Structure 1
Amino acid sequence: MTTEPAAQDPEGAETRGVPLVPVLLGLTVVSGLIDAVSYLGLGHVFTANMTGNVVVLGFAAAGAAGFSVRHAATSLICFLAGAATGGRLSRRLGGGSRRRWARRTLAVEALLLAVSSAVAFAAPDDSPATVYSVIAVTAFAMGLRNAAVRKLSVPGLTTTTVVTMTLTGLASDSSMGEGTGSRSARRTAAVVAMFLGAALGAGLVIHHGIALPLLIAAAVSGVLAATASGRD
């Protein structure tokens, strides 16, 4: 008599751990933290929200005060490099277990954020080495994560770094938009998660600098990496 492999067992390893919906909401909180660090602590640049970063790049290119073309361009290039790396890895290693793929990717994110935190603890927040290192590493980590989230394809939570489309879906699918309100709870939770992460990150940056919020972001990503399951 043969037994089914654990990977094919719906009650096996794939289903053990925290469901992907709360995992992705936790990552959305991390995104708010990261953008608070980058925008408030690194010179008005985003490293998680590329929509905002493209706008910032436009401001900087036009010569608006307080914005840097170099900072914005560094963030955008590193984010794209992270997303491209995530795409390549998902095609080579992302087949099969969603749980394994999610955990591996989040573990890499946690490591990168920990490196960013170590850099920030080791040098002044406003030193060029700190600024460019943290921008580059956090943007790469967010690009890698976005590629992973895209592959996971959890309905209602297809991104963890922007909420424009989330708000659009929330409104257009609501009763006011003559919709059914499907996935409204997930979308509302995502917006709240982003707000909470940004508020927490802003408070930490204002009172403690950028190293501590980066350390917290790394810790949260690490916990999610260790506990994520493969089920929605």
Structure 2
Amino acid sequence: MTADARPEADPEARGLRLVAVLLGLTVVSGLIDAVSYLGLGHVFTANMTGNVVVLGFAAVGAPGFSIPHTATSLACFLAGALLGGRVAVRYREVSRRTWARVTLAAEAVLVGASAAVAFAAPGATGTVYALIALTAFAMGLRNATVRKLGVPDLTTTVLTMTLTGLASDSRAGGGTGHRSPRRTASVLAMLAGATIGAWLVVHRDLGTPLLIAAVAAGVLAAVTSGRE
């Protein structure tokens, strides 16, 4: 077997590279935060930086914010991240591809369950808490996985450091700008997801963007490789 043939035979190399998959997941994050912030009482379930700030707003009684909603999101996100850490211990030394697929499939199931709840009981008292819990847990699981996969500049949920790097490492900032395309793509992916999600929440319902997010996560789980 030649050196050129080896990558084709490597199971880790089969499928869509992780960079493309993580950009797709960034779009999903935009969809989910559009649902949670616009439709679930000004709470984030993907962006925990924003959630900590929202908790501060709620603590002083700012209108439109809820301590129980925000605390539920934070607690479920942390529980998901804890499970994500355990999954990483189980799979990361065996197969990166399998590890990514397992966690993304779990995310698809959790977000799909949230879509089912949103369609089945849109006005029920417990629906808001169910959607917060399911999506926050899914995002915690995914964030733990993405963090441990360690693909540079693609966190899928937080853009502060991405934007900082985009500016400070640019040629205008004295850097080489060699990761600018990836960083720019990440910002645009989040913007696209948030825009689509917001339109669907405002003009349709909460279930539709969640269903789209679940299908997207499921497709990405099926096609991802273990390679960057």
Give the TM-score, by structure 1 length: 0.94
Structure 2 distance, partners of 1:36, 1:141, is 15
Q: Could you tell me which residue of structure 2 aligns to residue 62 of structure 1? A: 60
After TM superposition, the structure 1 = structure 2 runs for residues 83-232 of structure 1, keeping only pairs within 5 Å, are 83-124=81-122, 126-157=123-154, 159-232=155-228
Give the TM-score, by structure 2 length: 0.95
Give the % identical residues. 70
After TM superposition, the structure 1 = structure 2 runs for residues 12-51 of structure 1, keeping only pairs within 5 Å, are 12-51=10-49
Q: Which runs of 5+ in 2 are unaligned?
A: none
SS in 2 for 1:143: helix
Q: Post-superposition shift, 1:93?
A: 2.5
Q: Could you list the per-position Cα deviations for residues 82-114 of structure 1 after superposition, in whole angstroms to 9, with x for gaps in the alignment?
A: 001101111123223211111111000000000
SS in 2 for 1:10: helix
The amino acid across from 1:212 in the alignment is T
Q: Which runs of 5+ in 1 are unaligned?
A: 4-8
Q: Post-superposition shift, 1:207?
A: 1.1
- Given that residues 166 and 180 in structure 2 are in contact (C-alpha distance below 8 angstroms), is that contact kept between their aligned partners in structure 1? yes
The amino acid across from 1:167 in the alignment is L
Structure 2 distance, partners of 1:169, 1:104, is 31
Aligned length in residues? 223
The amino acid across from 2:221 in the alignment is A
Structure 2 distance, partners of 1:91, 1:97, is 11
Structure 1 distance, partners of 2:69, 2:181, is 36
Q: Post-superposition shift, 1:15?
A: 0.6
- Given that residues 29 and 190 in structure 2 are in contact (C-alpha distance below 8 angstroms), is that contact kept between their aligned partners in structure 1? yes
- After the TM superposition, which parts of structure 1 deviate over 3 Å for at least 4 consecutive aligned residues? none
The amino acid across from 2:127 in the alignment is T
Structure 1 distance, partners of 2:92, 2:117, is 30
Structure 2 distance, partners of 1:150, 1:95, is 15
Structure 2 distance, partners of 1:132, 1:142, is 15
RMSD over aligned CA atoms reads 1.1
Q: Could you tell me which residue of structure 2 aligns to residue 6 of structure 1? A: none
